[in-house]
Amino acid sequence: MRVLPTVARGLQTRAAAWAARFRAACVALVVMACAGGAVAEPLSRSAQALNEDLAIRIACRPGETRQVGIYPFDRARLPIPPDNAFALYEAFLGELLRSAPPCVTYIDGRGAYVTLEYLTQSGRLHASGQDHLSQIRDRLADVDYVMDGAIIDQADGLVAVFRLTDFREGTALARAQFLVPERFQATRCGAGAMPIAQAVEGAVRDLLDQTGPLEQLTIVGGYFGQSDVQTSFSRYLETAIVGEISRQAARVITGHRVRVTYLRETEATGLRHLRGLTISGSDFDAEALRIAPEAPGADPTQPRADGHRLVFRYWVCEGDQAARLMISLTGPQGQEVQAITAIRLDDLPGGLALRPETPPPPPAPPARGVNLQISSNRGPNPVFEAGERLELLLRSDADAWLHCFYTDAADRTIQILPNPFQQGHSEAHFYAGSIVHLFPDPQRSPVPDPFELLINDETHGVETLTCFATREDVSLRLPPGMRGESFDPLPQFHATQLRELFARAAGGDVGHARLTVTILP
């Protein structure tokens, strides 16, 4: 990606120099131990080891109490059925309680999550204008530490990973990792795997049986595992899935056909047209996935019947001979249905990459402080080719100072906000809360952004944009080279410690968000 000047002739000479150097349950509940059968030994040992590590790090004192908030699994990123995943979640928390240090109380965020799931399915959550993550964050706002979990499909099987983080400092304290016991897996990843066409046909039939007629379908994309990365194989699957939906949803007698649009092919999501307007966090997420521009005079806070959205994920297993495929359809009111199937990978066209060429970044732990959201002119987790322009859409739930960094596939990290064009303007990277902001923005006040972010052909693969939000300007508390003076790549020891550096500079009260960008060769 290059930073290219677009206006202000007086800046063009310096801008060219900089550009040349840039390459680049309804309440939180205290968890009660689950009664029931014996828990798999690796799970129990992992929970005990995590508690022992925690006890050493916090050094409990008499009369002291520490709270650990538990974020539930992300339902959309599970390689096993959700019911199985939550059974695993409860079993692990039960084991944590058995060996918890005397001063530690575990707070379960799943109670809030279950209520929010019901509201989503019923359509009431969208109507209320509330955001899933914000609700859970509110329940866990006063905890000292947070734990988040994921289930990852690795070469030796499904692995459950739980990370414990100091909520104020943003630093990792402990980690538990173990193979998911068979009883929680339901079936192995490749069990009953069928040829892609056959598996997709059955999955689409199940989805349409649950959703009914489709009028308009927005293709958000397909992703590798828990990541936000699209591959050539995911685009191959996308063709098969969309073709099957179009075939099964068509009505020969009436001539009805589903209108299909692709988020990655549009230069302006509905969100871009909301620049400068005040909207809720949930509406930001919803609008970031829309393609059709907002109708003149329409109320952006009201849900619109603009069709369904398609997202799918796949997990490779069985020595690359099979994969688990999860397809999700989300309706206009936020109701979601899923179909999970297993596909065979032994007869694919040549040249398809099952995995990203560069490793996807690990999921970021929950943030404390300002709730920051990022999207782009191609929606969340965009796909670009060389010569195309990247525009960012930003929203925070409170007034905040933003610092943003772009890391390319060659692992070079540069700071794009604040930046050299803003030197001498101390409030140039201040952004008002609850408002949709565009970056770069040639109309921004008090300092326009006289450049654009252009994808070049120097790197391709997985690249990331990471932003941090603080309630005060912490620029002078950051190391030299991180204050927006240049587009030179950051030293690696700074680039790999961004969260820790900002947590220390802001006293722990810092929000963060990340956008994964896939660059096609």
Q: Are residues 336 and 390 in the same domain?
A: no
Between 109 and 279, whose confidence is greater?
A: 279
Q: Are residues 508 and 387 in the same domain?
A: yes
Domain around 303: 196-344
What gap in Å lies between CA 498 and CA 501, rounded to an integer? 5
Q: Are residues 239 and 272 in the same domain?
A: yes
The residues pairing with 259 across neighbouring beta strands, listed in sequence order, are 216
Per the CB < 8 A criterion, the answer to whether 328 and 311 are in contact is yes
pLDDT in tens, 114-124: 444 434 444 44
What gap in Å lies between CA 385 and CA 267, rounded to an integer? 13
Per the CB < 8 A criterion, the answer to whether 34 and 94 are in contact is yes
For residue 16, pLDDT beyond 90: no
Handedness of CA 170, 175, 180, 184 (dihedral sign): negative
Residue 127 lies in a domain: yes
Place of tokens 């692709």: 262
Residue 86's pLDDT is what?
Answer: 83
Residue 106's pLDDT is what?
Answer: 86
Place of tokens 């007698």: 253
The residues pairing with 180 across neighbouring beta strands, listed in sequence order, are none
Q: Are residues 46 and 164 in the same domain?
A: yes
CATH at residue 373: 2.60.40.1930
Residue 459 lies in a domain: yes
Residue 201's H or E segment, with its range, is helix 196-211
Q: Are residues 395 and 305 in the same domain?
A: no
What gap in Å lies between CA 128 and CA 254, rounded to an integer? 37
Per-residue confidence band for 94, with pLDDT thresholds at 50, 70 and 90: confident
Residue 17's pLDDT is what?
Answer: 38
Select from 156, 184, 212 the last residue of a domain: 184
Which range, 94-103, 148-157, 214-223, 240-249, is most confident? 240-249
What are the start-end ranges of the H helices in 440-497?
492-495
Mean pLDDT, the chain, whole residue set: 80
Q: Is the pTM of this model over 0.95?
A: no
Per the CB < 8 A criterion, the answer to whether 393 and 271 are in contact is yes
Residue 332 lies in a domain: yes
Residue 488 lies in a domain: yes
Structure tokens at 309: 């959205």
Structure tokens at 102: 């005397």
**Number of domains present in the structure of the chain:** 3
> Nearest 10 degrees: CA dihedral of 267, 15, 495, 227?
10
Q: What's the whole-number mean pLDDT along residues 361-380?
A: 83
What gap in Å lies between CA 43 and CA 361, rounded to an integer? 25
Q: Are residues 496 and 387 in the same domain?
A: yes
Residue 91 lies in a domain: yes
Residue 392's pLDDT is what?
Answer: 93
pLDDT in tens, 463-509: 999 999 999 999 999 998 888 888 899 999 899 889 889 988 988 77
Question: Which has the closest alpha carbon to 109: 160, 66, 143?
Answer: 143
- What one-letter code names the amino acid at 463? E
Q: Are residues 494 and 378 in the same domain?
A: yes
Q: What's the whole-number mean pLDDT along residues 146-167?
A: 84
Per the CB < 8 A criterion, the answer to whether 393 and 436 are in contact is yes
Per-residue confidence band for 13, with pLDDT thresholds at 50, 70 and 90: very low
For residue 403, pLDDT beyond 90: yes
For residue 295, pLDDT beyond 80: no
pLDDT in tens, 52-77: 988 888 877 777 888 888 887 887 78
Question: Which has the closest alpha carbon to 221: 232, 233, 235, 210?
Answer: 235
Between 96 and 8, whose confidence is greater?
A: 96
Handedness of CA 30, 34, 40, 41 (dihedral sign): positive
Q: Are residues 108 and 137 in the same domain?
A: yes
Measured N-to-C along each axis, helices 41-58 and 82-98 cross at an angle, to the nearest 10 degrees, of: 50
pLDDT in tens, 235-278: 999 999 999 999 999 876 666 788 898 888 776 667 778 888 89
- Beta strand ranges found along 283-387 (DSSP E): 308-317, 322-330, 336-344, 372-376, 383-384
The residues pairing with 66 across neighbouring beta strands, listed in sequence order, are 104
CATH at residue 313: 3.40.50
Q: Are residues 141 and 165 in the same domain?
A: yes
Q: Are residues 121 and 175 in the same domain?
A: yes
Q: What's the whole-number mean pLDDT along residues 89-107?
A: 87
Q: What's the whole-number mean pLDDT along residues 95-111?
A: 82
Q: Are residues 243 and 317 in the same domain?
A: yes
